[in-house]
Structure 1
């Protein structure tokens, strides 16, 4: 896979490399592991986060002083060890974050600091109608609210992310959505009526950018792009510390920027769009030529991890095209961070080299060197957390 010296640098944005910023990022890594895995020993935390035992010990000591974790003595591998447990924080303000995809729904309950206190997910059939999704969402919301209500948290409302543009003038789902069955639907009103609470709606990639800027590894960064590679390819923009939605609320539709003059016809009606090369379905279709059948996303990930030449070539071609478009974004808005999310982040760093190479070819060396290209630090929760952040902001 091609590599350019100019793209090797992952220089942090101004201020993000300070000791305080690094400590905040490391603290979030520890807390994130405790939220997802439950009580852990300090040794387990060090292994899971990649931090040194001394760093983990210092972070845990500060978290104990802040009342966010508690420690106790346990036995691990026949030896005494310090066990770290999150301390439930009763009575806090929480919001629902709802992430609706082409084939999934994820609901989280999150505090203003991004701590997840409840979570549930469910698969959906491709081409589902809004009424089907609405019922699933209502069931999941009822499920995750139990823990929040039991702890005495105050629910302020819900945020909802969908894979498509939302026209800010009308509140309707615009054309070009991954869910064509939803086009023309007044989503906020429909879901608010069903859930019995205020619901704020936005594009899922925009919410991913909001989550990364607020709670990710580079939280507080002023200029950030979040790129979601999934059934489509979209981006969310944070400029000057604020989410940028544009005139109609339809910014970030990078999946429909042309990258191949005589490429495939896109679902939008144009030809050679980024989405025809770099979306997950397009990658699976390309790999299917070699495999003789249409593989699943999990198979593509497994083949990449195993070093399969065809899978690596498909990933490299998609990454180069994605990097070309990201380079164009860098030329226009000069972000400090580009965070990549979506199901293919499961392949890890293998996703990034070809994107870096494409980016370096499409922008100047100075910009390429100063732009951090990274995978999302929030995992599958990114868009749902962004939705919760939207609801908190609206309260």
Structure 2
């Protein structure tokens, strides 16, 4: 990767390359860092680190900037090191049940833009990929899509796909090896090849709820924690674990299926074949049925959330019961994995404190005393773009994106 920078290949050169790789890896994984933060994470001596950083800045691989602060403080502003934004961009695509969401981030961890579009549940994969391409085209031209991100000025930012290095893709359900029986049953066995042909870059595939967990740990509600438990309460119930800053998939990609933890053995039959799963109690459809059984008249999840916002007693009662059940499940998972932050996302999380307070109360009740004050419960912040952003985080964490970063300009060509 760095051979263009060093004409010799002796032991000292190889050691320097190793140090350079360490610095680039940290910036790729964590985004902008100060030299002090870099020193803590890298373990390099101050002299070695400053020498390595100086070389990478000269080469154009790393840039130095001063983050904007609203209140100017005394002293010199702390400089942050980041990967050169011009070194490339990563794209994330979320193929949800009834929508496609896309997002783009440069290698400095700056979100360039995002967009999304709904579709019929039975749409074919080639048609869904067409939607993704069209949404990315809208970011490329700077034209806003049905839901689009901007730079804060009201103008959509343009994605330069010529710099594209990889794509992270989220899909519904467990993800296994392409070509396996499970992948064929899900209809996703040909998706990676289809995307590679359209974009001409490597494709990383994972469960979209797990990717939302990773995104919340990198850019969202849990950006200050390296051990995160994420639970999504939507049309389905699922989750994800980030352990030590890395996404945990489990054997055969089956980690995070929290919706299929049994809550009521005598309960309703679940799509998975078992009975009384959390999904039969806390999915949007299940919550709506429970609300109607309690005397509520909502015909859609949106109407139920409106009722909860208006403090409708049956709606609050249902949310209290759901929150208690969710909190009990989360406590059991906490005892197994010990997260520092729990993030609750999905449409049902829009109910806010009416749901989260019962969740937290049940969590504290079921956790062993030693753990009760070491877990924070937070609401997800990234919304529908979360899984697409998680695809990007997957790319930034797991692929060598700096193969062709800008090389130093020689004196002959200056």
Per the alignment, do residues 150 and 241 of structure 1 end up closer, same or farther by CA in structure 2, a change over 3 Å counting? closer
Return the TM-score normalized by structure 1: 0.72
Further displaced range: 256-265 or 207-216 = 207-216
Q: Flag structure 1 segments of 5+ consecutive residues without an equivalent.
A: 1-19, 21-54, 69-88
Per the alignment, do residues 153 and 130 of structure 1 end up closer, same or farther by CA in structure 2, a change over 3 Å counting? closer
Asked if 1:56 corresponds to 2:70, the answer is: yes
What per-residue deviation string (whole Å, max 9, x for no partner) do you get for residues 133-165 of structure 1? 222122212222334667697221211111211
SS in 2 for 1:56: coil
Asked if 1:143 corresponds to 2:166, the answer is: no
Whole-angstrom distance in 1 between the partners of 2:138 and 2:180: 28
Corresponding residue number in structure 2 for 1:185: 189
Further displaced range: 152-161 or 136-145 = 152-161
SS in 2 for 1:335: coil
Shift of 1:291: 5.9
Whole-angstrom distance in 2 between the partners of 1:289 and 1:207: 34
Number of residue equivalences = 316
Corresponding residue number in structure 2 for 1:91: 86
Asked if 1:160 corresponds to 2:184, the answer is: no
Shift of 1:275: 0.1
Whole-angstrom distance in 2 between the partners of 1:97 and 1:63: 33
Q: Flag structure 2 segments of 5+ consecutive residues without an equivalent.
A: 1-33, 35-68, 143-156, 402-414
CA contact (8 A) 2:278 2:326 kept: yes
Return the TM-score normalized by structure 2: 0.68
Shift of 1:194: 3.2
Shift of 1:65: 8.0
Per the alignment, do residues 286 and 170 of structure 1 end up closer, same or farther by CA in structure 2, a change over 3 Å counting? same
Asked if 1:130 corresponds to 2:125, the answer is: yes
Corresponding residue number in structure 1 for 2:328: 324
Shift of 1:278: 0.7
SS in 2 for 1:226: strand
Whole-angstrom distance in 2 between the partners of 1:221 and 1:150: 29
CA contact (8 A) 1:166 1:173 kept: no
Equivalent position to 1:281, from 279, 285, 297: 285
Whole-angstrom distance in 2 between the partners of 1:212 and 1:109: 16
Shift of 1:217: 4.1
Whole-angstrom distance in 2 between the partners of 1:62 and 1:138: 45
Whole-angstrom distance in 2 between the partners of 1:156 and 1:372: 36
Larger Rg: 2
SS in 1 for 2:86: coil
Structural mapping, 1:7-156, within 5 Å: 56-58=70-72, 91-147=86-142, 154-156=163-165
SS in 1 for 2:253: coil
What per-residue deviation string (whole Å, max 9, x for no partner) do you get for residues 95-134 of structure 1? 1111121121111111234432122110122343323322
Per the alignment, do residues 308 and 113 of structure 1 end up closer, same or farther by CA in structure 2, a change over 3 Å counting? farther
Whole-angstrom distance in 2 between the partners of 1:96 and 1:233: 26
